[in-house]
Structure 1
């Protein structure tokens, strides 16, 4: 059952591929950023978002220094999982550099890939190469539908 749900999460996320990058956006085909991708996938899976984020600037993490993404992921998906437990459909939170707040999100896909909103392009599927793996700050599993 868990693998089926992970496959569903990946299918929904792949439906966003090609959506242009738009800061604070969360609409498939219209525009989204990395958080907006997660928000849009959540809406398709559950019907509504668990919370709507306050407006945020592109440099919010640098200015606030708070682990807002990690805390929100834990609130809605449960405690972080070890990276070794990673499977398709999991929510990935990335930290650009040691000591900085995590500020990028994506969704794990099969074959060591992940789906994310890339600022210079759109929503894309990328290889989860070592330089990305090193930046993983948290792995979270979307709650299964009951």
Structure 2
């Protein structure tokens, strides 16, 4: 775990504050590889931006990545970074404010993420769309690869 995550875990973080921080990003345009409120972000940029809103600075910066990075590299870069900086939890324990990682197909690395906003709902940035809050239908739920909490979430 990084030093920033370790410091954040010392304090208690209410889940409603995580969801409020994520909802603040709604309507931010989708821009691959970015994390700028109301200017543009992708799914990882949304999680990074919420982290900054909650803790002040990011625990690490991601490398530059292309839209097809997971298919080309085949490495679990997103999952590994989540494990370094967030607290992995059983999917059954995911609640509002938890971060979900998704795989598009079995055998492919996790490539998408979103933040649960309520039971059966999530906030995410999706290609060619703005950050938005959606119902989490069965098709999305089947693709969940892992669930995490922000450090200190209670």
TM range (shorter): over 0.9
Counterpart of 2:100? 92
- Unpaired segments ≥5 residues, structure 2: 1-10
Q: Provide runs of 4+ in structure 1 moved above 6 Å.
A: none
Number of aligned residues: 143
- What is the CA-CA distance between 1:112 and the residue it aligns to? 1.1
Give CA-to-partner distance per residue, 1:34-64, whole Å, 9 cap, x none: 0000010000100000000110000000011
- Counting only pairs closer than 5 Å after superposition, residues 44-123 of structure 1 correspond to structure 2 as 44-78=53-87, 80-123=88-131
Deviation at 1:83, TM superposition (A): 1.3
Cα drift, residue 121 of structure 1: 1.0
Q: TM-score, normalised by structure 2?
A: 0.89
Deviations 1:65-120 (A, max 9, x none): 01111111111113x22211110000110000000011001000113100000112
What is the match of residue 151 of structure 2? 143
- The answer on 1:17 being equivalent to 2:19 is no
Partner of 2:47: 38
Unmatched tracts of structure 1, length 5 or more = none
Contact 2:95 2:119 in 1 (8 A): no
Q: Distance in 2 between matches of 1:74 and 1:7?
A: 23
Q: Structure 1 length normalisation: TM-score?
A: 0.94
Question: Displacement of 1:143 after TM fit?
Answer: 0.5
Aligned to 1:134: 142
> RMSD between aligned alpha carbons?
1.5
Partner of 1:8: 17
